[in-house]
Each structure stands twice: as structure tokens, then as C-alpha cells.
Structure 1
């Protein structure tokens, strides 16, 4: 079973801080005491509702990629929750959390009535999985045009060995650069307000030379140019020719390694990054 499928904003935070106090984690070490290891491995993965490039459903393949990556905090995009027959009406975020024994937070950017009265609401959005406790979550719906798809920014405060990490996950509009620009301006405001070490991951649907990515990297550091090798292309998974999936970090976070995983469980390849928190 998943360690926690619903986040309590008050009791979750209190319980974690009580555990920290009892164990001494996060307390300034006395002479000779070991400093807590604050390395964390993160992953961003557009899972294409659990379907491969040929649209064959196989959520177990998605779970295998996540598990084999060794990632501890994971941002997922294109996640169905009782959405339709294309994903067998499964709550994919909860299914993955149960399968991998991880904490989970989910954000519905599309939220529709069920096909049958009494069934769960049909939702589509993003998710965060974490080996560490999730203290608090919030989803911000991003600007869109009248015809654009609703997108969002899912925020989660994650307690990583006594340090609170703000982990952000998004999926930007793919049809309009103007819309992406308005979305990243909203994200940039949220990033600017963060007082914690912050990681932003996601499918930005934009290459590194675009103004929308430039807006984000004016405040955050793109881990790939710093520690990645090669072109970093992530789309499409079979023959990737574009880098549109990112791990970005706030100042003070040290990127130690980055890798695009050679996986075809989705139409995107996931990006894995090893980070050291301040």
C-alpha cells in the first residue's frame, strides 16, 4: 500500500517535525557528529496516460521505469484519474504509488463529471510521487486562452532528511507560444516567492532557445547543460529530436548528474537528475 495517499496540511507537517525533533535530524550537529546526507534523485516523466508510443496501455511498464531509475521524488505529467477507457478508468497516480510504495499528490487540471452517476469524477493532470513525506500541496491553474487546454503547476513541500524541498511539477501548452509565455510568467512569480530550495520539473513543450524557457532559466538553473552529456533530447521516445523535458533548480542546489533514460514506456523519455540540497 502507498505510504500516504492523502496529505493533511496540519497533522502531516506536525508529525514530520515531531519525528525530526525526536531523532535529532535537522538539528545543528555537535562536534564530531555526522552532517545529514541531503542528496536526492529526482525524475520528470510525461507518462502519456501509461501508454507507449504505439498507444498500447501498460502502466506496469511506467512503474518499472520509475522504480529502475532509483528516483526518490518524481514529477509525472499526463496522468489519468478515472478519466476514460483509454486508461481503464484507473486512478493512475494512486496505482503507481501503491505499486512503488511511495507518497503521492495529485492535481486535476481537467475535472469532468463521470459518465455514470455515482462513479468518481473524471480527472486528468499531474502527480508527484515521493519516497519522503509530503507535508503540503497546492495546485495553481495557469493562464489559458478560450480554446486552450487548462494547465497547472503542482507544488509539494517534501521533507528530505530534515530539509524542506519545494518540488514543482508542470506541463505547458503545446499549441501556442504566447500561451506558454503567459504560463511561465505565472510560474516565475511562484518560484520567486519560494523561500525553500526549489526544483521545477516538467514537460515545457519548448526547446532551450525559446523565450519561455529563458524566462524560467533567468531565475532557475537548467541541470542538463551543467552535468548532462549529449543533446538531452526527450521527444519522441523512439527517435528523440527535441529537448522539451526539464529539471530546473534554485541557487544553492548542486546538480551532480543528469541522464535521459532510454525508455519507451511513453512517447517521452524521462529525465533523471542527482541533486545535493543546501
Structure 2
């Protein structure tokens, strides 16, 4: 039990407080949709429709997509979100597509343009209940392997690539944290960190922010479809002044990631 607690404790939450989400709370969903191509082990021919139906049924106020393929049928299906910010290109440079969809007005948005990579982070400033809230949607450096190919990897090459990935992630985290320091607004960081809750990358990003899973999650926090270990690499980190009222990990296998959702309340004025 002690080994379990110290090694698995932060992605297995027991005896958490019950959700007290209300219809007045603000909800945010983060989902790496893998270019809307479906999970390669279980490919659905209608995966785009399945993902869109899931999104619409959950009816979150804010959605952060990673690896989002901007396709016209998708946009038409998300008319409930009149405010949308996309980013995938700058000049000749292609970034892995990121998008923020919102029911709240987007006042401005931007990109951090991580150097020498296709990974990136974007942000949008939203007008929420008379206040401005900044949402960062991030996709940190990927290791670039499929779980099913792990056994075929050369261990030395895999180890070297892992080291390069972690160094690149730390560089990206430094860029992001420097940007947050200049933010005039409270902010949320969510997305695909491509690293576990035990990593320095996660600890630096979390800082004083509150991890919605640790506060309101339940059971396993797995977000990556990986048979061997229940990796948690997708997060929603919320301003410490906000009250987190719920967290949900969904088991929908339409991508190689599971979506996560949290709800919160702004401080009373």
C-alpha cells in the first residue's frame, strides 16, 4: 500500500469531495483530438461525428483542442461556440494545430511560437462575467512514438530522444512562464503536457496553480491510451483564487488521449 501511495498517488485520487458544480459555473474542456483521425487501434469511420457529438453533449463553455484539424464540417458543427481562435501557421512554419472555442467573447489571442519545433502554445483573453480571463492552450514537445511501437524501439535511441524531448519541454515551459508573468489577467493553463505529474516540467508549470484533478477528480486520472501504465499527461491548472467545483476524466476512445473537463467559479466581487 505504501509503494502504491508514493508511486501512484497523484494519479489515483480517493475520498475526494463530491462535485458541487452548478449551472452558473464556468466549464472548460481540454482534448487532444489527434488531427480528428481517430485512435489507430480502434479507428471509427465516423470519428469526426463522434467527437463533435461528444463535445456538444458535454456543452462546456470553453474548449481547448490540441492537434486540431481545421475542417469546414467541424466548424459548422460547433456553431454553439461563436468565438474561436485557431493557430497552426506562421509564414512558412507549420505548428501542430491548436484551437480555443468559447461561448464567451474572445477579446484577443496570440501564439508563443516555440522555436525549432512543431509544438506550440496559444492563448485567448475572454470576457467572462464582466472580468477578463486568459486561457493558455499548450502542447509541449512530443516524444514521437506510438505506444504500440514501444517494444520495437532501440533502447539507446529512445533514451537519447527522451532526453532531447525533456530539454525541449523545459525550454518551452520557460517561455510560457515568462509570458504568464506579463499577463494582466488571472489565467488557466490546460492542454497536453506530454509529461507526467512526477516531472519537473509539470511541477514548474503548476507552481501556485491548482490541479483540477487533484482537487475534484476521482479514481485513475489516466489521459493517455497506453496499455501498460495509466499515464496522466493532460491537465487543467486553474488560478488559485478560483474555486474548482468539478473535474471529469472521460473514457472515450476517439483519439489516443482521453478528454478532461473542469468547472470553476470566479471570486466573489
Q: Please indicate, yes or no, whether the TM-score normalized by the shorter chain is above 0.5.
A: yes
Match of 1:217 among 206, 224, 230: 206
- Write the mapping of 1:1-278 to structure 2, written as runs, cut at 5 A: 39-54=25-40, 55-56=43-44, 58-81=47-70, 90-91=71-72, 94-98=75-79, 100-109=80-89, 124-144=96-116, 149-175=117-143, 176-236=165-225, 241-278=230-267
Residues paired across the two proteins, number: 221
Q: Secondary structure at the match of 2:78?
A: helix
Runs (4+) of structure 1 exceeding 6 A deviation are 237-240
Measured in 2, the distance between the counterparts of 1:129 and 1:107 equals: 12
Aligned-residue RMSD, C-alpha = 2.4
CA displacement at 1:257 relative to structure 2: 0.9
CA displacement at 1:150 relative to structure 2: 2.1
Measured in 1, the distance between the counterparts of 2:218 and 2:226 equals: 17
Aligned to 1:24: none
Cα 1:165–1:112, aligned 2, differ >3 Å: closer, same or farther?
A: same
Measured in 2, the distance between the counterparts of 1:237 and 1:64 equals: 24
CA displacement at 1:163 relative to structure 2: 1.6
Calculate the TM-score normalised by the size of structure 1.
Answer: 0.72
CA displacement at 1:251 relative to structure 2: 2.1
Cα 1:107–1:47, aligned 2, differ >3 Å: closer, same or farther?
A: same
Q: Secondary structure at the match of 2:69?
A: strand
Q: Secondary structure at the match of 1:80?
A: coil
Measured in 2, the distance between the counterparts of 1:93 and 1:136 equals: 22
Higher relative contact order (CA 8 A, sep 6+): 2
Does 190-199 or 253-262 show the bigger shift? 190-199
Q: Which runs of 5+ in 2 are unaligned?
A: 1-22, 144-164
CA displacement at 1:56 relative to structure 2: 4.2
Cα 1:238–1:267, aligned 2, differ >3 Å: closer, same or farther?
A: farther
Cα 1:200–1:75, aligned 2, differ >3 Å: closer, same or farther?
A: same
Measured in 1, the distance between the counterparts of 2:52 and 2:214 equals: 28
